[in-house]
Amino acid sequence: MRAGLVLAMLPSWVWAQACVVETPIDDHQSVRLCQENVSIPKQLFSSGFCQPQLKGKVVTVSFVEQCPAESYGVCRNAQVQGTPYRQHIHYYGHASDGVYLSVACEKQYHGQWHDLGKR
């Protein structure tokens, strides 16, 4: 009973919250990433940040406690333009995309790129 009371008193950002976003490019490839909440209010994260709208694309979103471990790179403390909120964005798929994603991470999202060396 005590543990439940202690957990209930913790701010909502302490609990892990992430979403895996996937969309097919063609019959053989898809884009897959995972957004890990750092400072976004929990409700806003699930109702806005994890609900991408890509015109003409089917997007699948799955909510998870933490991002899967097999990412090849992470943009840490990515900031969405026009907001004070931060998230870590994990990338999956082709590690060669890291060259372009690292630039976007640092310039567009003002984050720090971490190449995890998974090829």
The beta-carbon contacts of 106-113 under 8 Å, at least 24 apart in sequence, are 108/81, 109/75, 109/78, 109/79, 109/80, 109/81, 110/77, 110/78, 110/79, 111/75, 111/76, 111/77, 111/78, 111/79, 112/75, 112/76, 112/77, 113/73, 113/74, 113/75, 113/76
Percentage of the chain lying above the pLDDT 70 cut? 85
pLDDT digit string (tens) for 21-68? 998 877 777 889 999 999 999 999 988 888 887 777 888 999 999 999
* pTM given for the model: 0.80
Flag whether pLDDT at 75 surpasses 50: yes
3 has pLDDT over 80: no
Give residue 21's pLDDT.
93
Give the pLDDT confidence of 86-104 residue by residue, as tens digits. 999 999 988 888 889 999 9
